[in-house]
Amino acid sequence: MTEPIEQYLDELYSKLLSEPRAARRLLAEVEAHLHERADALEQQGMDRFDAETQAVQAFGPAAEIARRHAPPLPLRIARAVQSSTMLGGIGLVAIGVSGGVAAAMNALFGRAFVGNQHELYPFSACRHFLAVQQSATTCGRAAVLENSTDAVTLRLAAGVVGLLVIGAVLLWRRVRPQDTAPVSPALACAAFGVGALGLIGASVDLAFTRGSDGVGWYLSGGLVAAIACACYAVPTARRLLIR
């Protein structure tokens, strides 16, 4: 037979939007209250199940209690913004790491593995590539060198920006602890998972249609996104299994 108070507490827990400490405290108070009411009804001659059912009914719908206990809208918005900003910062750091992977690929597999974009460049672009990459003698080679360098430097720059964003969020949390909201592992896992699928899919497609040249451009990002997805998949799976 189900226990009405336990069932009610489960429902309330699933609906609460409050921060963990406030939610735990409310649940502890509600549990004590409901048992106290049920005990009183039981002493009046009611059986335990009916006493718990009546105590729960008198307490009010869980959704209503959760709604009243929810933080005010501006605070919820601030938390959503902070959480999204943090996820954006982590995403930029992942792009920076993919720059490091691209650098390793440049060294291990040659610059064409990352830098060959299979494009026909207009004259003005060729002139730019040849001016920047003075060791190259052809436009194609200069483009490969330029692209493979950009894959490293521009991504590393994005990573530095990501670190600054994360630093700003950590500072925000210190200044206004009430705005603190963790990044949802499920959301992060989904975001990195979609990125990993797209990038690894593009690199596989390229490998089949044009060979290994240029594959590293996508694969470097795809590998990092897949690892990030796996890191967030562990807490996500743990939560799902516990529930």
Partner 1 sequence: MRTSARLKGNLDLLVLAVLAQAPAHGYAIIERLRERSDGTFDLPEGTVYPALHQLEEAGFVSSWWDTTASRRRRMYALTPSGESQLYAERTQWRNFAASVQSVIGGLA
15 binds partner 1 (CB under 8 A): no
Position of tokens 């954006």? 88
Helix H segments across the chain?
4-15, 20-43, 48-59, 62-69, 73-109, 111-115, 123-132, 139-175, 185-210, 215-242
Q: Should residue 173 be labelled a site residue for partner 1 when binding is judged by CB under 8 A?
A: no
| Residue 33 lies near partner 1 (rule: CB under 8 A) | yes
Does 224 engage in binding with partner 1 (CB under 8 A)?
Answer: no
Q: How many CA atoms lie within 13 A of 236 on its CB side?
A: 16
Nearest to partner 1 of 13, 121 (CB atom): 13
When asked if residue 79 is in the footprint of partner 1 (CB under 8 A), the reply is no
By C-beta, is 39 or 205 nearer to partner 1?
39
Residue 23 binds to partner 1 (criterion: CB under 8 A): no
Q: From the list 3, 6, 10, 29, which residue makes contact with partner 1 (rule: CB under 8 A)?
A: 29
The binding track of 87-126 with respect to partner 1, each residue x by CB under 8 A or -, is: ----------------------------------------
Angle at 230 between CA 225 and CA 236, to 5 degrees: 125
User: Does the protein bind partner 1 through residue 61 (CB under 8 A)?
Assistant: yes
Work out whether 37 is an interface residue with partner 1 (CB under 8 A).
Answer: yes
Both structure tokens of 173: 């949390």
Q: Does 63 bind partner 1 (CB under 8 A)?
A: no
CA 139/CA 128 separation, integer angstroms: 9
Map residue 221 onto helix, strand or coil.
Answer: helix
The DSSP H or E segment spanning 16 is: none
Of the candidates 161, 144, 160, 159, which has an alpha carbon nearest to the alpha carbon of residue 217? Answer: 144
Of the listed pieces 29-37, 78-86, 119-127, 226-234, which binds partner 1 according to CB under 8 A? 29-37
Binding site for partner 1 (CB under 8 A): 22, 25-26, 28-30, 32-33, 35-37, 58-61, 64-65, 68-69
